[in-house]
Amino acid sequence: MELPNPLSKENREFQGNLRRARAFARRFAIKADPFSSLLEILSGGADPMVFAYLWLAVEENYNILLFAQGKTDRHIDAISALVPWHKTTLDIPSGNAGYDRRTNFLNTQETSVALQLKGAERLVVDRIIAKNMDKKYLDLLMSLPKYGTSHIASLKADLYNKRITHALRSKPFEIKRNNIAWLDISIVLAGDEGASKIAAITEYKWLERAEIKLLGSEPGAKPFENMRMLNGNKLNLDEIYKSKIIRSYARSNLVNSDQAVEELTRRAHFLETCAIPASAKEDRRIEMYYEIK
């Protein structure tokens, strides 16, 4: 099927309408209160520093994959709440069935996930958010960051204490070699569906993306490096200065690494304050962080 021309008058008008409606669409996609899942997880004892780290990662347009044996709706909603409101998003619902005309970028009755993903490649889409994605679409999803479309996606898979990069290259995922380098952060959840918690967070740096320094003609250089960013249930602060998330935030905001870590701490304190029941009066908490006091 031929995809519509993104430069046509109809598609330009559609994209404009979509941008004006994005705030409503985001609220629709994450039920009534887009922050309810985030507050629920923080109130349940999660480390605010972990979500402050993920907040910076989302803001810097890095890609995040979540893996769990059960559903991951609660955690992907929580991370999705951190997406800046000026970003245009495509939400693929849990089970990848159905569509919402407010977030269907092809403006058709087509329910094919593959068609929507291919449409995201042609149109102006900043980020795709997919809950419990079918494994057969993952390779297509991971090919989109080269076109400027990052993603937050969850999949049903038991990868606790397993080599995630190896698993993604193997069946049933079979991610192509040139696409797997777009894996920035992997999150593994453990526990029952209703009470699952983050068991592991791994950050990846790729030689292919020039995120690893290659000394001269060093033989046998590894194609990637990975760091465990979780120590117990706390953010691993011993590795934080090596994190590409911190370095990227520092570069894009013209600050040094110390100032970037200070910002990480401020956001963690902000999230901790938001999780206090007395402060839970409105659903604009993440927006409020950027407002001039």
Name the residue with higher pLDDT: 160 or 1.
160
pLDDT for position 96: 45
Q: What is the pLDDT of residues 32-74, one digit of tens each?
A: 455 788 888 998 889 999 999 999 999 999 999 999 987 778 8
Say yes or no to pLDDT of 19 above 50. Answer: no
- Contact by Cβ (8 Å): 89, 25: yes
pLDDT for position 280: 47
Q: What is the pLDDT of residues 76-133, one digit of tens each?
A: 889 988 988 778 888 877 654 444 433 444 444 445 676 667 666 666 688 888 888 8
pLDDT for position 89: 82
CA end-to-end distance (rounded Å), the chain: 51
The band of 22, judged by pLDDT with boundaries at 50, 70 and 90, is very low
Q: What is the pLDDT of residues 197-252, one digit of tens each?
A: 899 999 999 998 989 876 555 556 678 899 999 988 899 999 999 999 999 999 99
Measured between alpha carbons, how far is 187 from 203 in angstroms, rounded to an integer? 9
pLDDT for position 286: 66
Measured between alpha carbons, how far is 239 from 49 in angstroms, rounded to an integer? 13
pLDDT for position 31: 41
- Looking at this protein, which amino acid is placed at residue 104? N
Ranges of each domain in the chain: 9-47+61-237
Average pLDDT in the chain: 78
pLDDT for position 35: 74
What is the DSSP annotation of the chain? Answer: -PPPPTTSHHHHHHHHHHHHHHHHHHHHHT-S-TTHHHHHHHHTT--HHHHHHHHHHHHTT--EEEEESS--HHHHHHHHTTS-TTS-EEEE-GGG----TTT-TT-SS---HHHHHHHHHHS--SEEEESS--GGGHHHHTTGGGGT-EEEEEEE---TTS-HHHHHHSTTT---HHHHTT--EEEEEES-GGG-EEEEEEEEEETTTT-S---TT-TT--SEEEEE-EETTEE-TTSGGG-HHHHHHHHHTT--HHHHHHHHHHHHHHHHHHTSGGG-S-S-HHHHHHS--
pLDDT for position 215: 58
Topology annotation, domain 9-47+61-237: Rossmann fold (3.40.50)
**Angle value at C-alpha 244, between 239 and 246, nearest 5 degrees:** 75
pLDDT for position 100: 40
The band of 194, judged by pLDDT with boundaries at 50, 70 and 90, is low
